[in-house]
Chains A and B, each alone.
Chain A
Amino acid sequence: MEKSTDTSLYMRINEQDKAALEQLYDRYEKILFSFLYKMLEDRELAEEALQEVFIKIWRGKGVYDESKGKFTSWLFRMAQNTAIDLIRKHKKPTVPIEEAAQMSSNDAPVDQQVEWQEKKGQIETAVQRLSAEQQKMIDLFYFKGHTHETIADMCDIPLGTVKSRIRLALKKLKISLHGMQERGAYDD
């Protein structure tokens, strides 16, 4: 059977096609759950966030079209925002955990695993090229969902420059990623 594109699935979901939502769910369950778990560090909260994401998609809150870039960027941004809302709602203490419970599993379809591992390798390399402070800021900003004030405190930088520093870190990440993708990656 031909694999539907994300966009065509999304359009069918807009027409309230449950089978399409289920397909999209299957396609992204693993990465979304793992990502949300990384952010929330709690399996129940991660499930709650994931459910919220699919409710938003099903109800058509937030509209995707291809002018907004890749579907996954849009989807992940929605997941990330949902997790941030939960973090702020629960005022969860964000103690960095060791990659403790390695509930690692490999029952996702092989092509998804391969793609994930490939992208993980690329993004890890790109992140490693950032300064330690920049890495920390991306973690605090993106994964931990901290406010600018907290980040200013934690990184000991003036509040007024937090946004531009985060932007600079992300920009460097982008340049580094692009460089790797253009060269066909894996030269490090």
Chain B
Amino acid sequence: MTNMDCDRLIDYLNGTLSANEIQQFEKHMETCTECQEIVEATGELPYLADPVEPPAGMKARILSNVFEEEHEHDTPASALNPAMSPIPLRKKSSKAQQMWKPLIAAVLLASLLGNAYAFMQLSDQQAVQETAIQSVELQPTETFSGTATAAMFEEEGSVNLVVQADQLAELDAAQVYQVWLINDGKPIPAGAFSPNPNGEGASYYQLESNSDEWDTIAITLEPKTGNELPEGEVVLSSEI
């Protein structure tokens, strides 16, 4: 613990730290009981508010906007090839189908990628803004029975990474399969997933920087979500 770190408490509570600084401060809090307790006490302040009746229809408005935002957010595939027919992602689905959605989206993206390759080969004189970079099969470690493929494509300067896996072992509630992109031994988290009852899982991740920097993709079995560095064992990996 240093005073410098404790000094950041107020900025942390006031939301003026960068993502990186937030991470540093949260790391600091793990070992600084006082900062931790002040943050917890501050977390009681909202209860000072007097109960106010929310506007009529707010719940329906907010939830539909939240889920709508998500559609807009996770369908960059529609921009991949504008000539293609509409993607049935917007279709309303029943609750039982919800867990399939990420997988369906990923499979769809992957199949679009295939189409995009074919499309580019057929019409290489035609300008294609989005570039499929590569698709790789990840190799399981000796003790792991699952399989996974990863596909990357570039779109408007950002790189999208889609991973789909199957034959996955069941996880404990807290565990998660975490995807990492590694450059010269340095991993960054690049999506995570939990298997559905059929042992299938998929993730979609958008990267800011270009794929040239990455030499390896790996999936680890993490004891909890949100790890910034791998704690668990690698179960699948491939050079890229």
Interface residues of A (CB under 8 A from B): 8, 11, 14-19, 21-22, 25-26, 29-35, 37-38, 43, 46-47, 50-51, 54-55, 58-59, 63-65, 67-70, 72-74, 76-77, 79-81, 84-85, 99, 102-108, 113, 116, 119-120, 122-124, 126-127, 138, 141-143, 145, 148, 163, 166-167, 170-171, 173-174, 177-178
- The secondary-structure label for the interface of chain A is helix
The answer to whether A123 and B55 touch across the interface, beta carbons within 8 angstroms, is no
* Residues of chain A within 8 A of B98, CB atoms compared: 16-19
B102 nearest in chain A by CB position: A16
- Shortest Cβ distance from residue A55 to the other chain B in the assembled complex, whole angstroms: 5
Does B126 make an interface contact (CB < 8 A)? no
Interface residues of B (CB under 8 A from A): 6-7, 9-11, 13-15, 26, 29-30, 34, 36-55, 58-59, 61-63, 65-67, 69-70, 73, 95, 98-99, 101-102, 173-174, 192-194, 224-226
The answer to whether B70 and A31 touch across the interface, beta carbons within 8 angstroms, is no
- Shortest Cβ distance from residue A139 to the other chain B in the assembled complex, whole angstroms: 9
- The 8 Å CB contact of A170, one of B42, B47, B61, B192, is B42
B46 nearest in chain A by CB position: A35
B9 nearest in chain A by CB position: A167
A112 nearest in chain B by CB position: B51
A121 nearest in chain B by CB position: B47
Bound together, the chains give a CA A127 to CA B173 distance in angstroms of: 39
Bound together, the chains give a CA A109 to CA B147 distance in angstroms of: 46
Bound together, the chains give a CA A37 to CA B65 distance in angstroms of: 20
- The 8 Å CB contact of B51, one of A59, A108, A142, is A108
The answer to whether B225 and A79 touch across the interface, beta carbons within 8 angstroms, is no
- The secondary-structure label for the interface of chain B is helix
Bound together, the chains give a CA A117 to CA B174 distance in angstroms of: 33
Bound together, the chains give a CA A35 to CA B42 distance in angstroms of: 13
The answer to whether A19 and B95 touch across the interface, beta carbons within 8 angstroms, is yes
- Shortest Cβ distance from residue A169 to the other chain B in the assembled complex, whole angstroms: 10
With most chain B CB atoms within 10 A of its CB, the pick from A58, A79, A122 is: A58
- The 8 Å CB contact of A103, one of B37, B53, B58, B193, is B53
The answer to whether A177 and B69 touch across the interface, beta carbons within 8 angstroms, is no
- Shortest Cβ distance from residue B198 to the other chain A in the assembled complex, whole angstroms: 14
- Shortest Cβ distance from residue A88 to the other chain B in the assembled complex, whole angstroms: 10
